[in-house]
Amino acid sequence: MAMVVTDPCIGCKSTDCVVVCPTDAFHDAGEQLVIDPEVCIDCGACAAECPTNAIYPEDEVPTQWIAAISLNARLARIAPGITEPIRRSTS
């Protein structure tokens, strides 16, 4: 079973999750990140690092964010992979 990124991720882009993922399962879908369910090994490392508690096991996604399951699977196929932290401008 895969982990799923849900709505609280929107606008975060801290990428604390990305740097701990052993399988490079994250993709940058613009306003949020998504996890490729074909690549995720359900290790839980990302969920432990996420400051907004946006990441849930597929069978524990809260009802209001249930659409995120299919969204992650669909966007992971077309959004670019992300394996490095996003560097923000400090100026």
Give me the residues that bind ligand SF4 (CB under 6 A), please: 3, 5, 9, 12-17, 20-23, 25, 33, 35, 40-46, 50-52, 54-55
Alpha-carbon span 72 to 29, nearest angstrom: 9
Contact present, 8 and 52 (Cβ < 8 Å): yes
Least separation in angstroms between residue 80's CB and ligand SF4 is 15
Least separation in angstroms between residue 67's CB and ligand SF4 is 16
Least separation in angstroms between residue 18's CB and ligand SF4 is 7
Going by C-beta distance under 8 Å and a sequence separation of 6 or more, which residues neighbour residue 20?
A: 45, 46, 48, 49
